[in-house]
A and B are shown apart, each in its own frame.
Chain A
């Protein structure tokens, strides 16, 4: 990993009264990276983004984007950063192309280039056929694409997308995310996405940060996150059997005797095992030797879902402990 941060947040804090929306957030995002800011609703993702753009003033700490302090020189930052808000609106009485050209003009694109550039951008996001339609007639997915065009026409160095997949159908989401990824790779754009959808982030992010109640709980790529979190229980193997086990207790005892198996849970014909190392072959061998009819073996890899849930589990535990301490 190179150390070339294009977004640098240093102990960024935003309080609303006594409530801390963002609490001493420090974060670095490198050039060309796709970073996912992951967290439930109300975690402070949008507030963080607004502070990066100089649209909200941090209570303390600072946000430096492209080497520019976002609080002191918000317009400078906005020249280099494109932002797509979670429910971006367009002027419904104008056509999509006019909307795009307006943004282009605001960004100082010379009048003679603007039409061709707007057309090219519309083609790039796949709205070439619909560019003369009024945006009032656009569907949600098309509006998101137009929003992307809106970012791209400015040729930004950093793109920030707030909940970009909200309200698009599943096929559209996949296509949209792939488009972002492709564009980011082609133009070496740094992309910061915020979402509470784990699977979607998993599809395109190089790195994610998990953000709960204004604090960054963990960051890194998926493997390191899983490793940090689950530690000894990193691997889960699920074995399905044709018939329900006749002597589950005995099987459980024998399975726990295998090196590396930490936890076994048996429900009807399914056996779940948490292991510290990948011993799937040994487990399969064990079942076969025991004369059980295995219909399926599934090695679970930790997705963000599990990571996410684990975090919440830990958090609620901590929360309960704190409550008791009080």
Chain B
């Protein structure tokens, strides 16, 4: 970290342009109305989800049929009585909005205000600007999620008095990291769109369009296509049904929200041992017991990799278009 810091510093205690930009972007976000609105939205859904899970926590942790009943804090994040979705489901569709809100006008508004060319005439590298915008927004998201989750742990500790296990803490921290990566994907997508489109409104609408497509239409389309292309599952042999389900699942997993909910479920519910259908042979001899943290991490690894890869692709796209662009007013 120290070496990384030096990379962006001019030495003698003067922060390099990268950190100056990060500081300014972060300050701008925190003072902006749109962040306030998103913050309130997330805070309210968090409080709502917590209220529901806390009022059901007694029932859930005494349910001895559930192998996860010992994990009180994980239950706080995953319990619901179906009146409200759980917090991670909320994040799976509010996270994209947060990422889009923080990134949709990153470059084009600067360009339209005439600040971009003035900024780039300073002794700064062009990629540092993109990186600073990404880093600043992601830091804020990280701090937001981390503080929410720590608040939840604190409240849970006060209310239930149950000490926390290390595995639970790791799982919850891994969930925070996962959520930040998920928001990071949408952030880098919206930054890429802000480089591509001239008007902030266009890039915002495009980003929201992509988000809507993945949350609403994508599953419908996949189901429709699969139903017309593949034979009716009722007429298939059991092994073929497994293949059939796997095909549908792998198509679903092209949607980032699916990757996120898959990974979040596995991390927050230790008894989830596979994200695909399991055959009877695979299940034979398996004891319904929670997985260790490391094993859960192994299960979600492809999902996490997918999300990171999608983020990197979007960011690389933004980088590619931005570096080639001639900046003029």
Contacts and interface: CB of A to CB of B under 8 A. Distances in A.
B20 A106 contact: yes
Interface in A48-97: 50, 53, 55-56, 75-76, 78-79, 82-93
Interface string A272-310: 000000000000000000000000000000000000000
Interface centre among A79, A82, A102, by most chain B C-beta atoms within 10 angstroms, is A102
A88 B115 CA distance: 6
A75 B328 contact: no
Interface residues of A, number: 33
Contact of A86 (B120, B327, B329): B329
Interface in B87-126: 113-115, 117-125
Interface in A101-147: 102-103, 105-111, 147
Given A86-B329, A92-B113, A102 B10 contact: no
A79 B14 CA distance: 15
Contact of A88 (B12, B15, B28, B118): B118
Given A55-B327, A93-B31, A110 B114 contact: no
B118 A85 contact: yes
A150 interface: yes
Contacts of A107: 122-123
Contacts of B31: 93
B210 to A, nearest CB: 28
Given A102-B24, A105-B15, A110-B14, A78 B122 contact: yes
Given A55-B327, A85-B121, A107-B122, A102 B20 contact: yes
A46 interface: yes
A87 B113 CA distance: 9
A89 B115 contact: yes
Contacts of B326: 50, 55-56
Contacts of A79: 123
B163 interface: no
A102 B120 CA distance: 13
Nearest to B32: A93
A67 to B, nearest CB: 16
B285 interface: no
Contacts of A91: 28, 113, 115
B14 A55 contact: no
Nearest to A147: B118
B124 A106 contact: yes
Nearest to B121: A83
B21 interface: yes
A55 B121 contact: yes
- Mostly helix, strand, loop or mixed at chain B's interface? loop
| B-side interface size class | 20 to 34
Contacts of B115: 89-91
Contacts of B24: 102
B161 interface: no
A53 to B, nearest CB: 6
B317 interface: no
B17 interface: yes
Contacts of B119: 106
B114 A87 contact: yes
B34 to A, nearest CB: 12
B121 A53 contact: yes
A139 B117 CA distance: 20
Contact of A89 (B16, B20, B118): B118
A147 B122 CA distance: 13
Interface centre among B20, B118, B119, by most chain A C-beta atoms within 10 angstroms, is B118
A89 B113 contact: yes
Contacts of A56: 326, 328
B13 A105 contact: no
A84 B122 CA distance: 10
A108 B12 CA distance: 10
Contact of B114 (A85, A105, A150): A85
Contact of A55 (B15, B114, B120): B120
Nearest to B324: A57
A108 B10 contact: yes
A264 B12 CA distance: 72
Contacts of B12: 110
Contacts of A108: 10, 14, 16-17, 123
A53 B28 CA distance: 28
A82 B120 CA distance: 11
Interface string B307-326: 00000000000000000001
Contacts of B122: 78, 103, 106-107, 154
A137 to B, nearest CB: 15
Contacts of A87: 114, 329
Contacts of A111: 14
A14 to B, nearest CB: 10
Interface centre among B113, B123, B327, by most chain A C-beta atoms within 10 angstroms, is B123
A55 B20 contact: no
B106 to A, nearest CB: 14
A82 B121 CA distance: 7
Interface string B1-14: 00000000010111
Given A85-B114, A150-B118, A93 B28 contact: yes
A110 B20 CA distance: 12
A104 to B, nearest CB: 9
A274 to B, nearest CB: 42
5 contacts: A55-B326, A75-B125, A88-B114, A88-B117, A105-B15
Sorted from nearest, which 4 A-B pairs have the closest CB atoms?
Answer: A89-B114, A83-B121, A89-B113, A79-B123
Given A78-B122, A85-B328, A87-B114, 16 more contacts: A55-B117, A55-B328, A56-B326, A75-B123, A78-B121, A78-B124, A85-B114, A86-B329, A88-B117, A89-B113, A90-B118, A93-B31, A105-B17, A106-B20, A111-B14, A147-B118
Interface of A: 46, 50, 53, 55-56, 75-76, 78-79, 82-93, 102-103, 105-111, 147, 150, 154
